[in-house]
Copies of this chain bind each other. A is one copy, B any other.
Amino acid sequence: MTIPYKIYLDEKEIPKQWYNVRADMKNKPAPLLNPATKEPMKKEELEAVFCSELVAQELNETDAYIDIPTEIRDFYKMYRPSPVVRAYCLEKALGTPAHIYYKFEGNNTSGSHKLNSAIAQAYYAKKQGLTGVTTETGAGQWGTALSMACAYFGLDCKVYMVKVSYEQKPFRREVMRTYGASVTPSPSMDTEIGRKINEEFPGTTGSLGCAISEAVEKAVSTPGYRYVLGSVLSQVLLHQTVIGLEAKTALEKYGVKPDVIIGCAGGGSNLGGLVSPFVGEMLRGENEYEIIAVEPASCPSLTRGKYIYDFCDTGKVCPLAKMYTLGSGYIPAPNHAGGLRYHGMSSILSQLYDDKYIKAVTAKQTDVFEAAQYFAKTEGILPAPESSHAIKVAIDEAKKCIETGEEKNILFGLTGTGYFDMVAYQKFNDGEMENYIPTDEEIAASLAQCPKV
């Protein structure tokens, strides 16, 4: 059977249910804790911050499948199913016997997979009768996705954008404004926590952790508002499983079983969404896969962090989560893969990593952009810097197959496009891109500030 360049599923094959990998995990992810009492967060406590239905999803560890409401599936139909692409041209250019596939989530205006969860979260907010939501954004992909989702359902949208990205990506801001959102650089002087961070760290370029604190503060202090988050949380990974479910169905149609599955890892939403259905098979003892998380060398939470309870945000206003973390005070060097500049990692992925279902590696920024440019020239798509971490390692794996002669099936997540990352590409084109790798001392100092649980 000839495999086409792009495997498109039918609209009817958009998943009708999300897959909740926690139901199949023997070792469940540790619960979120109240930072004051160190007791597991109660439903009512979480509902002060998050929409009720999303809290229910966050706490649901037993139902393996959760129905996707029709309204969300209808929105999905505007840009899903996304294709699984066979990278014939890349294979040819490399001269590898490996078969390379990527699940491409960039063909929508948000430019990434983030829209999958944004539309779900906006739907539940609207259904609950809220008037608006707040959030943070790093690279701007999540903020854009949420702006689109809120415009569709007629909700207000207030976005705190990590300052370094806000400055490097003015056009992202305009996309969000075009969809009617308000966008504030973080740390801002809008919130108590923002003012505090600005005072303590003058000139800081911000981080996802800071921006989360500000967005949460704004949400809980504004009537009719809740806070929504684009990664890390289990509900987000749940929504993102449409990626993995579609990828699995598409490959099965052609009798292809991936040997290696690769995804970039920031907070974990893309990686978790891509690999969950495959990990589910591993957990149920049905199949084996090699799963690789790729982190930036500048922000290596899985590979160099500790698996402990920590704050989800720099401002310490959020619940404690047990996760691989570099410490909530860790502010990574200005790295252009804004979406990967998070100090921690999804609790689900942290547990799966700790249980050895997932491996992790790091990639240096200049190597990542070299892979990105090579991919652009051969496969035609200019990738997001985040996604390019997965490209780098997919190419490495394909090169290994040249030596071994193995016809491995490599699947990676191409989470998005780099159209709003041209400042970073310009630095790379001009030979001015630098690598930053934290010292052990830096990481130890940051970890020393983690709460005792």
**Chain A residues within 8 Å of B, Cβ to Cβ:** 4-6, 8, 10-11, 74-75, 77-79, 85, 88-89, 107-109, 111, 148, 151-152, 170-171, 174-175, 177-180, 373, 376-382, 417, 419-420, 422-423, 425-426, 428-429
In contact, B109 and A380 (Cβ under 8 angstroms): yes
From known contacts A178-B429, A419-B420, infer whether A376 and B109 are also in contact, taking CB-CB under 8 Å. yes
- How many copies of this chain does the complex contain? 2
A-B contacts, 29 listed (Cβ < 8 Å)? A4-B11, A5-B77, A6-B11, A8-B8, A74-B88, A78-B85, A78-B379, A79-B380, A109-B376, A109-B382, A109-B417, A111-B419, A148-B377, A152-B377, A170-B426, A171-B419, A171-B420, A171-B422, A171-B426, A174-B422, A174-B425, A174-B429, A175-B382, A175-B419, A178-B376, A179-B376, A180-B377, A419-B419, A419-B420
Contact A177 B429 (CB under 8 A): yes
**Given A175-B422, A175-B425, A179-B376, 14 more contacts at CB 8 Å?**
A4-B10, A6-B77, A75-B380, A107-B107, A109-B381, A109-B417, A109-B419, A148-B376, A170-B422, A171-B423, A178-B382, A179-B377, A419-B419, A419-B420
Question: What chain B residues lie within 8 Å of A417 (beta carbons)?
Answer: 109
Contact, CB under 8 Å: A178 / B11: no
- Most chain B CB within a 10 A radius of its CB, from A88, A373, A382: A382
Closest chain B CB from A92 CB (angstroms):
10
Assembled-state Cα–Cα distance A445/B88 (Å): 55
Expressed in whole angstroms, the Cα–Cα distance for A379 and B77 within the complex equals 11
Say what secondary structure dominates the interface of chain A.
helix
Tell me, in angstroms, the Cα distance from A179 to B428 when the chains sit together.
12
User: Do B78 and A174 touch across chains, with their CB atoms under 8 A apart?
Assistant: no
**A423 cross-chain contacts in B, Cβ below 8 A:** 171
Nearest neighbor of A417 in chain B, beta-carbon distance: B109
The answer for the CA separation of A380 and B152 in the assembled complex, in Å, is 8
A11 neighbours in B (Cβ, 8 Å)? 4-6
- Name the distance in Å between A319's Cβ and chain B's nearest Cβ: 33
Are the C-beta atoms of A380 and B108 separated by less than 8 Å? yes
Report B-chain residues with C-beta under 8 Å of the C-beta of A428.
178
Q: How far is the CA of A382 from the CA of B74 in the complex (A)?
A: 19
Q: Please give, as numbers and ranges, the residues of chain B lying within 8 Å of A174 by CB-CB distance.
A: 422, 425-426, 429
Q: Which of A11, A78, A79 has the most CB of B within 10 A?
A: A78
Q: Which residue of B lies closest to A78 (CB)?
A: B380
Minimum CB–CB distance for A199 against chain B, Å: 31
- A75 neighbours in B (Cβ, 8 Å): 380
User: By the criterion CB–CB under 8 Å, are A77 and B108 in contact?
Assistant: no
Chain B residues, CB < 8 A from A171: 171, 419-420, 422-423, 426
CA distance in complex: A111, B422 (Å): 15
Closest to A8 in B: B8
A422: which B residues are within 8 A, CB to CB?
A: 170-171, 174-175
